[in-house]
Chain A
Amino acid sequence: MPNISIILQAQFVITDTTLSPSPQIITRQLNNPTLAATSEYYMPFFQTINGTKAIPLPAATVWLLYVRNLDPTNNITLNYTPTGGSSTSVILLAGSSAGNGGIFLYQQPAESAGGITAAGITATAVVSCCIQAAA
């Protein structure tokens, strides 16, 4: 039985900057996708190491994984293993200022298909990133 409800409120706004005033050519409300979960790991300032540090997932398979690079200088690499797949990675760039780095977000509204079974962060220094995982 789920204990928590994780709701993503999100909207894309895409603007054509070739015109002035710039019109919004796409506005997309994602309609609050929600995951009913029982366990969660949330670390607003996860500290990386010079190397790879595993993310302690709250369950064998998580259906939501959010990672954001909070560092203004160092890139980080997210390594994740999809269910039934092999480990892969994606680079999350440093932001122009602290807290504005790259984002990875994987969310399933039901715990039935997909999922991630392992994850870790590779960095070359101790930097902060925000991590949420739930199942």
Chain B
Amino acid sequence: MAPSISISPTLTVQVQSLTDASPKQLINIGGISFTGTVLFYNESFPVQGGAPTAPGTAIPFISDPTNKINNNAPIVYVRNLDNSAIIALTMWLPTFAGGAAAQPGTINIGPGGFILVFNPTTGTSGATIVGGSNAGAIGFGASPAGGSTANLINLATITGNVSAVYAEVLVAG
């Protein structure tokens, strides 16, 4: 499929000294870009379905069994929009063939916090991923074994009222 989207974030990190108030720019990531074919973006994605005290509990994320986002997503961005609740993001992270099978990794995201994984390409030649074909991508839409439509990126709340917690979500591939 021909590319249909281009994602170009500009990212600059400034470190300011609070003791002398003279800011200095340490990192300028600049104009990294990714050209892909599919995109899921929800600026206010409802986090639902998980027990409030069960981090990592799966919730329906992309239920389309045809895997519109492909089996892998080189780009995943999740930001907690709540001002008090914590959400937990679980990502299935594929490994290279011959290595250990993909395992889910869960990380808590506090109020206002976010995680961004951004790979500029969908893969490299000669590399094979368990459960997918794209090196560096994050498994999505199918199990690591490739035979299931299990949701591999899950959001679950661990505190707060699940019906009132929202996250900004961007997934592209």
A residues in contact (CB < 8 Å) with B: 2-18, 22, 25-26, 28, 30, 33, 36, 40, 42, 44, 63, 66, 68, 75, 80, 82-86, 88-96, 100-110, 112-116, 130, 132
- Smallest beta-carbon distance B87→chain A, Å: 9
Q: Closest approach, in angstroms, between the C-beta of B34 and any C-beta of chain A?
A: 10
The SS class assigned to the B binding surface is: strand
How many A-B contacts if CB must be within 8 Å? 198
Q: Within the assembled complex, what's the spacing in Å between the Cα atoms of A102 and B74?
A: 9
Contacts of A16 in B (CB 8 A): 4-5
Cα distance A5–B94 when bound, in Å?
Answer: 35
Contact B10 A11 (CB under 8 A): yes
What is the interface of chain A mostly: helix, strand, loop, or mixed? strand
Contacts of A12 in B (CB 8 A): 7-9, 77, 170
**A116 CA / B109 CA spacing, docked (Å):** 11
- The reply on B113 being an interface residue by CB < 8 A is yes
With the chains together, A18 CA to B6 CA distance in Å?
10
Interface centre among A2, A80, A89, A104, by most B CB within 10 Å?
Answer: A89
- Give B contacts to A, CB under 8 Å: 2-19, 26-27, 29, 32, 35, 39, 41, 43, 74, 77, 79, 86, 91, 93-96, 103-121, 123-124, 127, 135-136, 138, 170, 172
A7 touching B108, Cβ below 8 Å: no
Chain A residue contacts of B111, Cβ below 8 A? 109-110, 112-113
